[in-house]
Amino acid sequence: MPTWSEIQLWKAATLSSYVDTVSSKKQTIDQQIATLQARRTSFQGEGQTADALRNAMSTAHKELSNLAEELRHVHIAITQATSRVQQVESLVANALSSASARHCTISDSGTVTCTFGHDFSVRHKLESEVQSMVRNAIRAAEQVDNDFRALLTNVGTARTAPAYRARGTHALSKAEEAAFPKMTPQQRADYWSQQSDEQKKFLCDNYPDLIGNADGVEAWARDRANRRRLPKLKQAAETEKAKLERDIANAGDNTALKADLEERLTKVKARLDAYKKIEETVIGWGPIDPNVKDGTQVGFSSTYGKQRPGYLSLLTLQEENGRVLAAVAQGDVDHAKNVATVVPGIGTTVEGGLQNEIKRGANLRSAAAAEGNIDTKDVAVVSWLGYEAPPAPSKDLGEDLKIVTMDLAEKGSDKLAGFLTGVNASRMYGAGDANMTLLGHSYGSVVSGRATTKIADGVVDNEILFGSPGMGTYDPSEIHVPEGRRFVSGVPKGDWVQGASDDRGAYYLGLGILAPPLIPAVIGAGSAAELYGVGQLGMDPMNHDSTFIPISSDATGSYAYADGLFDAGSKTVLRNHSVYMDPGTGTLRDMGRIVAGGNPKP
């Protein structure tokens, strides 16, 4: 296990120099393999001597191919370790900086001692804060060390030896087809990286249901597979709709049956609308070309007959509880230097909110390019509607409880953690690590915060929660995003959702749901709150103890911002709850700076 004194000496730059060395060696061997293959193909000699020479060339070709594959795995291992060592360096620097600010010292063994003040409780609190940061750094270093060792141990074994496999295509065996969905995102990314380009396309085209939602598979491949799945899913919904309409017509006077059929029909129509919205919004712009790796390609719209910079890709396409879930990306997730994932909140559906979320994603992408002074191709933004968001308030007890409990956030965070881990893993086995930012709005901030307790260190580099009722946990040490890169924004008025988790009664009454006598006004302290877990959405990220750093809360530049209608601090309306990502706002500009890898404006 690495010690505190040891990890202070870790330098990502040292490892990085080996990446270039290994890459250069592999290129040389690849050239030798190509030359040898050309000579084998063109050799026309006959007789025993010629046969012996052919055999010798075949043996040399096989050995060089195996060596090249081993170097590929070494390159992957070092590349992964380099980015994660950078994370460790950041954690160490943060701990040292915090120790200095708190008048604390850290021994070589990692023990923290503070000399500030005479009050024991104050010193203990300061020591605990720094000690937690030291532990996080050591824990992250230990994970890096273990993973790096495991990857290097595999080099030269039967696991890596058969590489440089034939570049043809082949169907999956039943065992392979059964094993693929059970892989972790990291295992799946490893497996995927070993397939030829031809085999990857073959799998997308022939096993789209297997590939479309597979975390760890490259974005272009998921998009290709999901574009093939969409027509079939849409047709199935149309067929079901027609059948239900016939059944309703034949239900006669059976009121109960007719009500059940009509409820099912409503859900099917919503699914069909969602598929049509995806078709209209995403599919019309054409698929990603995996051969264009710098983000400069344009998308051609068969619907509108024109081109535009970039493209949209469909990274998730699922049905859950009768609803369609999707994730749509703008930009090149596989190669962009900066990748952001935005998680929306209450009431967001594919059929009703996809286009608006894509618009917000475009705002963020433009802001990152402008504030970071970088090319737009260096930024990709994913609008992640991949979970069942709670419905808008309806005064229905069962439905409204979804808004103020962790149930949907818990389920959604599992899926979000898998998605983020998969993107990170596919980049590690592909173009290399990206600066990844997770942004959560409203109930989506609860999902996002909870997801960061379920990922490994190094997956997400920055987190931004805004308009947040709670951060999904009450223990900041559970969050696997570096301290110093956790940010929060909350407009000063017109957004009572911000921090509402800690005020359960206000949360209910502000939503305008479950009015007495269904739920008493004192629900925050009552048994119903304990029974249902009402309002227990995690600590308010605006709270100082949350470890989240406040960024701009100035959204007055939004065309929709409402000012002067209520007193400062009022939480009686929602008018400003959704203005954070509007053009012209300080909130969006700060988000853009962070997504681009920088810091919010002081």
Q: Which residues contact 507 (CB under 8 A, 6 or more apart)?
A: 404, 469, 500, 501, 524, 534, 535
Q: Looking at 296-300, 408-412, 428-432, which range is the least confident one?
A: 296-300
Which whole number is the average pLDDT over 17-25?
80
* C-alpha to C-alpha distance for 349 and 453, rounded to whole angstroms: 25
Q: Which residues pair with 338 in a beta bridge?
A: 379, 435
Same domain, 256 and 133: no
Out of 26-35, 327-336, 511-520, least confident range = 511-520
Distance CA 150, CA 144 (A): 10
The top-scoring range by mean pLDDT among 62-71, 158-167, 545-554 is 545-554
Q: Which residue has the higher pLDDT, 140 or 354?
A: 354
Q: Which of 159-163, 430-434, 446-450 has the highest mean pLDDT?
A: 446-450
Banded model confidence at residue 111, pLDDT cuts 50, 70, 90 = very high
* Predicted pLDDT at 354: 95
HSE-up (13 A, CA, CB side) for residue 490? 28
Residues 296 and 224 both lie in one domain: yes
Please report which confidence band the pLDDT of residue 566 belongs to, taking 50, 70 and 90 as the band edges: low
164, 192, 225: which is the final residue of a domain?
Answer: 164
Tally the domains of the chain.
2
Say which residues have a Cβ less than 8 Å from residue 587's Cβ, sequence separation at least 6.
466, 489, 491, 551, 552, 553, 554, 555, 579, 580, 581
Paired strand residues for 380: 339
Percent pLDDT > 90 in the chain is 52
Which DSSP state fits 249? Answer: H
Phi first, then psi: what are they for 355, rounded to 5°?
A: -65, -40
- Distance of CA 116 to CAs 131, 180, 456, Å? 15, 55, 34
CA end-to-end span of the chain? 38
Residue 134 CB-half CA count within 13 A: 23
Q: Mean pLDDT in the chain?
A: 83
Tokens of 82: 């380099």
Structural domain contains residue 300: yes
pLDDT at position 397: 44
Could you tell me if residue 154 is inside a domain?
Answer: yes
| Domain end position, chosen among 320, 352, 371 | 320
Q: Which two tokens stand for residue 36?
A: 């040898």
**Confidence band (pLDDT; 50, 70, 90) for 514?**
very low
Place of tokens 């701990």: 95
Burial of 232 (0-12, 13-18, 19+ CB in 10 A): exposed
Residue with the bigger pLDDT between 222 and 23: it is: 222
Whether residue 92 lies inside any domain: the answer is: yes
Section 393-408 average pLDDT: 64
* Domain boundaries, position 265: 210-320
Q: pLDDT band at 158, cuts 50/70/90?
A: very low
Assign 102 a pLDDT band (cuts: 50, 70, 90): confident
Residues 99 and 214 occupy one common structural domain: no
Same domain, 159 and 231: no
The least confident of 267-281, 395-409, 502-516, 573-587 is: 502-516
- CA–CA separation, 315 and 224 (whole Å): 9
- Could you read off the pLDDT of 451-482 as tens digits, one per residue? 999 999 999 999 999 999 999 999 999 999 99
Does residue 139 sit in the same domain as residue 262?
no
DSSP 32-90: HHHHHHHHHHH----SHHHHHHHHHHHHHHHHHHHHHHHHHHHHHHHHHHHHHHHHHHH
Task: State the pTM of this model.
Answer: 0.72
Digit-coded pLDDT (tens) for 131-150: 988 988 898 888 888 878 77
